[in-house]
A and B are shown apart, each in its own frame.
Chain A
Amino acid sequence: GAVVSQHPSWVICKSGTSVKIECRSLDFQATTMFWYRQFPKQSLMLMATSNEGSKATYEQGVEKDKFLINHASLTLSTLTVTSAHPEDSSFYICSAPPRTTYEQYFGPGTRLTVT
Chain B
Amino acid sequence: DQQVKQNSPSLSVQEGRISILNCDYTNSMFDYFLWYKKYPAEGPTFLISISSIKDKNEDGRFTVFLNKSAKHLSLHIVPSQPGDSAVYFCAAIGGTSYGKLTFGQGTILTVHP
User: Could you tell me which A residues sit within 8 Å of B by CB distance?
Assistant: 1, 4, 6, 32, 34, 42-46, 49, 91, 93, 95, 97, 102-109, 111
Q: A46 to chain B: which residues have CB within 8 Å?
A: 100-102
Report the count of interface residues on B (CB-CB < 8 A): 21
CA distance A32 to B100 in the complex (A): 10
CA distance A103 to B47 in the complex (A): 10
CA distance A53 to B100 in the complex (A): 19
Q: Pick from B32, B42, B45: contact of A102, CB below 8 A.
A: B32
A-B residue pairs in contact (CB < 8 Å), sample of 18: A4-B43, A34-B99, A34-B101, A43-B106, A44-B89, A44-B103, A45-B103, A46-B102, A49-B99, A91-B41, A93-B44, A102-B93, A103-B46, A103-B49, A106-B46, A107-B43, A108-B43, A109-B41
User: Could you tell me which B residues sit within 8 Å of A by CB distance?
Assistant: 32, 34, 36, 41-46, 49, 89, 93, 98-106
CB distance from B39 to the nearest CB of A (A): 10
CB distance from A27 to the nearest CB of B (A): 15
